[in-house]
């Protein structure tokens, strides 16, 4: 049987830049990703033409795939038949929890523009995942204190997940080809809940990451409607006030953010 010419199918159907659609064509990569789903109930976001989905169905206990693009959903419904497969035509973030059931892991080649939102969703659900994302995004997730890439994303990722880079994926593995390299990464949740407000405070602190912590917190205080004295007191309670946020470990930044939140909400 001849291999399916997915590239021609995509060309004929067309693709959406608005939906950040870049379709995986490399079946070997799909098979490697699917190995993490072996024997498990799997959630997939954005299956597209189902190259990864087909590999998942060979090894997973069940697969629930959520596709927003109605054309892709109809193609999958016509061409990928399995009792183990549940297809949902919807924006992923509009799907109610009950429709998804109890999933063990997410395995997906997600649209790059949804990466941050997906990470937040996974942290709220405390769900592990194998995701193909933009390499630069994964590098920022893995960035450590003292490096240029160290950011809010690095801090939140380190607090909530153990992130492991598995392998890189070249643009030639997709159609249309993205302008950047991709990376498949494994995210194992640590079970650490972070309030939405504290996430925002971490972001505010890291937006001043090159400033001394005392100055960074004074600037944050203005945004958070705290007094300068309160900010300086918090800064002084966390070691060297001359230290800068980009040099601080994630847990220390979290503790500072929690203290600022507590000052806001006595």
Q: What is the CATH number of the domain that holds 10?
A: 3.40.50.150
Residue 240 has pLDDT above 70, yes or no: yes
| Residue 4 DSSP symbol | P
Q: pLDDT value at position 211? A: 94
Q: Are residues 152 and 216 in the same domain?
A: no
Q: Are residues 43 and 157 in the same domain?
A: yes
Q: Are residues 40 and 162 in the same domain?
A: yes
Q: Are residues 165 and 46 in the same domain?
A: yes
Which CATH number covers residue 203? 1.10.8.100
User: Can you tell me the mean pLDDT for 247-261?
Assistant: 93
In a domain, 76, yes or no: yes
In a domain, 20, yes or no: yes
Count of structural domains within the chain: 2
**To the nearest whole percent, how much of the chain has pLDDT over 70?**
98
Neighbouring CB atoms inside 10 A of 59's CB total 16
Distance separating alpha carbons of residues 18 and 120, to the nearest angstrom: 21
Residue 3 has pLDDT above 70, yes or no: no
Residue 238 has pLDDT above 80, yes or no: no
In a domain, 1, yes or no: no
Q: Are residues 141 and 72 in the same domain?
A: yes
Q: Are residues 180 and 204 in the same domain?
A: no
Torsion angle of C-alpha atoms 150, 155, 160, 163, degrees rounded to 10: 10
Q: Are residues 85 and 204 in the same domain?
A: no
User: Can you tell me the mean pLDDT for 1-14?
Assistant: 79
Q: Are residues 180 and 222 in the same domain?
A: no
**To the nearest whole percent, how much of the chain has pLDDT over 90?**
74
- Structure pTM? 0.92
In a domain, 247, yes or no: yes
In a domain, 14, yes or no: yes
Q: Are residues 240 and 148 in the same domain?
A: no
- In a 3-state reduction of DSSP, which class is residue 253? helix
Lookup: tokens for 93:
């973030």
CA nearest neighbour of 200 among 145, 141, 157, 258: 258
Q: Are residues 157 and 218 in the same domain?
A: no
Q: pLDDT value at position 40? A: 98
Residues with Cβ within 8 Å of 23's Cβ and at least 6 positions away in sequence, in order, are 6, 10, 15, 48, 49, 51, 174, 175
Q: pLDDT value at position 186? A: 98
Residue 49 has pLDDT above 50, yes or no: yes
Residue 35 has pLDDT above 50, yes or no: yes
Q: pLDDT value at position 1? A: 43
Domain hosting 217: range is 196-264
Distance separating alpha carbons of residues 131 and 259, to the nearest angstrom: 33
Final residue belonging to a domain, choices 189, 219, 249: 189
Q: pLDDT value at position 192? A: 85
Q: Are residues 148 and 231 in the same domain?
A: no
Residue 196 has pLDDT above 50, yes or no: yes
Q: pLDDT value at position 16? A: 81
Residue 23 has pLDDT above 50, yes or no: yes
Residue 203 has pLDDT above 80, yes or no: yes
Final residue belonging to a domain, choices 169, 189, 209: 189
In a domain, 101, yes or no: yes
User: Can you tell me the mean pLDDT for 242-263?
Assistant: 92
Final residue belonging to a domain, choices 189, 208, 233: 189
Q: Are residues 44 and 78 in the same domain?
A: yes
Residues with Cβ within 8 Å of 66's Cβ and at least 6 positions away in sequence, in order, are 43, 44, 45, 46, 47, 88, 90, 92, 95
User: Can you tell me the mean pLDDT for 111-117?
Assistant: 94
């Amino acid at each position: 049987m001849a291999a399916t010419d997915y590239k021609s199918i995509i060309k004929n159907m067309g693709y959406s830049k608005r939906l950040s659609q870049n379709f995986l064509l490399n079946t070997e990569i799909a098979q490697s990703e699917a190995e993490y789903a072996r024997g498990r109930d799997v959630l997939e976001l954005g299956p597209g033409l189902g190259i990864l989905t087909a590999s998942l169905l060979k090894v997973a206990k069940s697969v629930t795939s959520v596709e927003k693009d109605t054309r892709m959903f109809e193609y999958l419904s016509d061409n990928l038949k399995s009792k183990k497969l549940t297809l949902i035509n919807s924006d992923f973030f509009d799907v109610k929890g009950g429709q998804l059931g109890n999933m063990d892991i997410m395995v997906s080649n997600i649209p790059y523009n949804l990466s941050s939102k997906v990470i937040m969703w996974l942290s709220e659900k405390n769900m592990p995942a194998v995701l193909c994302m933009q390499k630069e995004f994964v590098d920022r997730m893995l960035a450590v204190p003292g490096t240029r890439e160290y950011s809010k994303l690095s801090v939140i990722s380190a607090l909530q997940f153990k992130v492991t880079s598995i392998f890189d994926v070249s643009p030639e593995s997709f159609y249309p080809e993205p302008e950047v390299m991709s990376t498949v990464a494994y995210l194992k949740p640590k079970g650490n809940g972070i309030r939405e407000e504290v996430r925002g405070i971490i972001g505010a602190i890291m937006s001043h990451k090159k400033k001394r912590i005392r100055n960074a917190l004074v600037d944050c205080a203005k945004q958070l409607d705290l007094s300068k004295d309160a900010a300086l007191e918090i800064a002084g309670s966390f070691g060297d006030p001359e230290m800068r946020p980009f040099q601080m470990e994630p847990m220390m930044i979290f503790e500072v953010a929690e203290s600022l939140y507590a000052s806001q909400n006595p």
